[in-house]
Amino acid sequence: MITTADFRNGMTIEMDDVLYNIVYFQHVKPGKGGAFVRTRLKNLKTGAVVEKTFRAGEKVELAILDKRRMQFLYREGTNFIFMDTETYEQMPVSEDEVGEAATFLLEGTQVEISLYEGKAVGVEPPVFVEMEVTDTAPGVKGDTASGGSKPATLESGLVVNVPLFIDAGSRIKVDTRSGEYVERVD
């Protein structure tokens, strides 16, 4: 058990048998009445963000997550199959637990999986991934990096806006936090 004074961004807590990640917190001390803590919590199961207010000093259950480095192998129906890079043990993870990270997964991608009581509750892809552009409008000679952008479909099915000079077959780097084009890598 921890108190609201121990809250930190990124910490995982358990309330009513549901895991929440603390996205934001703020200690508030009004002129009148007791102090309280305003938080923004992300439900790890559904991805929904809720706001909750705690009384100062209120006790909350801390969820201890085990983070493991794993490699994405392949997709089997609605499950993604990952392999522990140390023990070579394979683990199926459902689409719900993978969430938005699915659009950044290619065979061989190294990810960090959060486990709670032996069950996967989240998948964190690397900050940057390199992918091949499979479909985009052709580039025109003279297009520059600052000239504008166009949509491009990547090999995972993700659609990102890229500069006009990027053609199908180019490899690009994508930021997984924002889903945006970073640079061409070939």
Domain ranges of the chain: 2-62, 66-124, 128-184
Query: What is residue 94's predicted lDDT score, i.e. its pLDDT?
Result: 83
User: For 66-124, CATH number?
Assistant: 2.40.50.140
Q: Is the whole-model pTM more than 0.85?
A: no
pLDDT at 88: 87
Residues 6+ apart with CB under 8 A from 54: 4, 36, 37, 39, 60
Q: How much is the pLDDT for 137?
A: 80
**Strand partners for 94:** 79
* CA contacts within 13 A on the Cβ side of 18: 13
Of 52, 63, 60, the C-alpha closest to 19 is 63
For residue 139, the model assigns a pLDDT of: 66
Non-local CB neighbours of 59 within 8 Å, separated by 6+ positions: 1, 2, 3
> Amino acid identity of 14?
E
128-184, superfamily in CATH?
Nucleic acid-binding proteins (2.40.50.140)
Rounded Cα distance between 123 and 42, Å, is: 14
Whether the domain at 66-124 and the domain at 128-184 fall into the same CATH topology: yes
Please give the average pLDDT of every successive group of 10 residues along the chain, which has 186 residues: 81 83 85 86 80 87 85 87 87 81 85 83 84 80 65 86 83 85 83
The CATH architecture to which 2-62 belongs is Roll (2.30)
Rounded Cα–Cα distance for residues 105 and 92 (Å): 14
